[in-house]
Structure formats: C-alpha cells, structure tokens
Amino acid sequence: MPDPIYLDYAATTPVDAAVLEAMMPYFRENFGNPSSIHRWGRNAEKAIEQSRRDIAAVLDCEPNEIIFTSCGTESDNLGLRGAAVAQREAGRGNHLITTAIEHHAVLHTAVQLRDHYGFDLTILPVDEHGRVRLSDVEAAIRPDTTLISVMYANNEIGTIQPIAEIAAIARARNIITHTDAVQAASQLDANVKRLGADMLALGAHKFYGPKGVGALYVRKGTPMIPAQTGGGHERGRRAGTSNVPYIVGMAAALKLVAERRETDNARYRQLRDKLIAALTQIPDSRLTGHPEYRLPNHSSFVFRGIDGNELLMRLDLEGLAASSGSACKTGDPEPSEVITALGYERDWALGSLRLTVGRPTTEVEVERAVEVVTRVVGGMK
C-alpha cells in the first residue's frame, strides 16, 4: 500500500518540531509549580508570563487579558457562562444570541444556559453558504440582550464570518461579543483590535501546538465569573495548576503561525483549490461552505446518496485520513447539524466529506487523494 495521506488538519495538527523543542525543558529541568515561591516555581512562573506576553503580542492585547485554559472547548465554556451569568447578576439582561452552525462547545453551552439556568436564547440561521446575515443579528437584538457569540470560521465547512461587523453592531448597543476562533487562528488574523470581539477562544492543537491547552482573550472590563473555583490562578478567573510546558508550547506555536501565515496560506489555497476543482466534478457532488469566504486550507463537500461514515471507512482502508465534518461527530449516523443548517436534505447531508491540508501536505498527496476519493465515491453509487 502507498504511504498513508493525512488530510484532516482541521481535526488536529502535529506538534511542530520547534514547538516541541521549546516545551521540553519544562517537563524536567524547569518542572516547578508556578504557584511556588522558590526558584523552581519562579522559573515556571516566568515562562508562563513570557508566554502570556507572546500570545498577547499576536492578538494585539494586554497580557493580563489572556486566560490560559485546558483547551478551546473550556475557553468557549468559560467565556459564555462566565460573561452571561455576570451580566445577569449585574442586572444587564438575560438574553443570548448565537448561531445554528456553532461548535458544540458554544451551542450546547448556550442551550444548557437556556434549559437549566433560565436564560433566553436566540439561535440565528445562516445562508446557503453558512454565513450569518448581519440583518438577522440586528433583528434578534432585544433590550435585554447581553451576549452574542458567533464563531470566526466554521470547522466543518470552513466559512468565515463577518466578526468585525457583528462586533460593531453589538458594541453600539453595549452588548458583549464572543467568538470561537479555535479553527480560525491557524490561518486568519486574530488581532482582537481589528476583530473587535470582547472574548476570543483559542486551542493550541489546531495550530501545530500540543493538545490539552487553550486560551481565552477577555477584553479588560468585560464582566466574568469563574467557571472553576479553587485557587487564585489566572488572576482568580480560572482555578487549576498551570500546565507550564503546554502553555509554553502554545505560545511558541502561535508565534510561528503568525510568522508563517502569508506563505503557508498561499500554499494552502493552491492545494485546496485543486481539491475543490477536481472533486466538484464528481456526479452528484457539491461544495459546502462559502466559495470565497472560507479558510485557506479547507475543502468540504456533500455527495448525494452516499453514507458519509462508510465513505470515511473506505477512504481509511485506502490510506486516506479525512472527516465527515467535525472530528467530534465521527461515528454519528445522523446528518451534521451544520450541513442541515445550510438547507441540504437528508440524502445530501448524510454524505459529507471534509479534506483539509496542512504544512506537510504535498501536491502528490493531493493528486492521489483526488484519485482515491473519485474512485471510492464512484464505487459507492
């Protein structure tokens, strides 16, 4: 069998060699607890604070506006719950707005806030390409709206949202904005001054950092209560012993992404466009997501009458790693909520496929992937 091909970089990325090198000293030599006052603890604390400054430099914010978490999901949970409850306790309102195509880290959190904590919730639709309409955002706002959460770029279909415009609408009405940038930060500008969001969530494993660490940007003055209680870590906003080597790795990875963004994205687009041009020639196939406003490395499709899970298994047997949408959905026999939100009927929605390229991807791999997908889909008809 030829060498296997990994085209699932939207699910996770390998740790970059330079990132791993930056992390290694903090597993053994500089292993101290950053809460300790001795030299080992102080050295660990210095590493965390330098990492905080490095991430803040990429985001163009103050270091004390960065909260380290265990992953992007925790960052989303902390942002939504922390701000929603704080706003309600301050008497500012009880109404939240999000969209139908959010990652479950946001959507399930918002639904839980509605069903178990008494918040009102509006879930906005999207157009056929997965973009939120600004007119729908404005129409959904009420006098008691306190928080709007819209993801920067969708993990399943790659569509990029107009976050700066949404944030401007919210700011004019004194409404807090949160954006899940976990998928976007590997390729898009995450400058929070330009985006305008009050909160922005990151997860390191999406941009060649380690799994198990994330961050939440919280604009100074944004009210928030901690979701975890215990010690006074992260200035009292997130309790728990800091994962020093992973935090160091996350900062190193994000700096590298910012340095390489222009060059990497140009190559990603070239490879992505080859996939899109070839695979949309398959009978009964359609591109999902926006044809223009989409992540540079992201291609996604639906094939009518195809079982997406069976397709993934057949591709895996051919040595091709892909996804039917979110990695969190693999094995789910029901259509993706994101795909159905685009308006696809079940016979189309069940046949979703996501192929995402990364730094190690070659043109030869893309060409072979085209051949494999075309042949496998044709054999399933």
Instruction: Report pLDDT digits (tens) over 283-328.
Output: 999 999 999 999 999 999 999 999 999 999 999 999 999 998 655 5
99 pLDDT more than 70 = yes
Task: Return the structure tokens found at 111.
Answer: 């639904």
For residue 324, the model assigns a pLDDT of 87
The domain of 165 spans 17-256
Spatial strand order of the sheet with 66-69 comes to: 66-69, 214-218, 199-203, 176-180, 145-149, 95-99, 120-124
Considering the domain architecture, whether residues 137 and 94 belong to the same structural domain is answered as: yes
- Please report the sign of the dihedral spanned by the C-alpha atoms of residue 64, residue 201, residue 152, residue 223: negative
Rounded-to-integer distance, Cα 357 and Cα 54, Å:
26
Lowest-confidence region among 29-43, 100-114, 163-177, 326-340: 326-340
Whether 61 is catalytic: no
Predicted local distance difference test score (pLDDT) of residue 330: 52
Last residue of a domain, one of 235, 256, 277: 256
pLDDT at position 8, please? 98
Say whether both 300 and 242 belong to one domain. no
Pair (64, 152) in one structural domain: yes
Distance in angstroms (rounded) separating the CA atoms of residues 362 and 228: 43
Question: How far apart, in whole angstroms, are the C-alpha atoms of residue 224 and residue 78?
Answer: 9
Assess whether 243 and 205 both reside in one domain: yes
Q: Which residues contact 164 (CB under 8 A, 6 or more apart)?
A: 194, 195, 196
Q: Which amino acid is at 85?
A: V
DSSP string across 169-226:
HHHTTT-EEEEE-TTGGGTS---HHHH--SEEEEEGGGGTS-TT-EEEEE-TT-----
Is residue 381 predicted with pLDDT exceeding 90? no
pLDDT given at position 328: 56
**Residues 138, 65 share a domain:** yes
Residue 1 in this model has a pLDDT that exceeds 80: no
The domain total for the chain is 2
Q: Last residue of a domain, which of 221, 241, 256?
A: 256
What is the distance between the alpha carbons of residues 276 and 81, in angstroms, rounded to a whole number? 38
Going along 125-172, which residue ranges are E strands? 145-149
Pick from 120-134, 229-243, 302-316: least confident? 229-243
Residues 192 and 305 in one domain: no
3-state helix, strand, coil in the chain (%, to 5): 45, 15, 40
Same domain, 62 and 134: yes
- Predicted confidence (pLDDT) at residue 41 exceeds the cutoff of 60: yes
Report the C-alpha gap between 49 and 247 in whole angstroms: 10
Residue 349, φ and ψ in degrees, nearest 5: -65, -30
Question: Amino acid identity of 298?
Answer: H
With cut-offs at 50, 70 and 90, classify the pLDDT of residue 236. confident
Report whether pLDDT(151) > 70.
Answer: yes
Q: What is the mean pLDDT of residues 208-231?
A: 95
Instruction: Looking at the structure, tell me whether residues 26 and 135 fall in a common domain.
Output: yes
| Helices 244-279, 39-59: crossing angle, 10 deg rounding | 30
Residues 275, 233: one domain? Answer: no
Note whether 337 and 266 are same-domain residues.
Answer: yes
Please identify, among 208, 223, 256, the residue that sits at the C-terminal boundary of a domain.
256
Catalytic residue among 328, 367, 374, 380: 328
Task: Report d(CA 85, CA 91) in Å as an integer.
Answer: 10
Listed residue (185, 271, 254, 189) closest to 10, CA to CA: 185
- 1-10, 84-93, 313-322: which range is least confident on average? 1-10
**pLDDT attached to residue 256:** 98
pTM of the model: 0.96
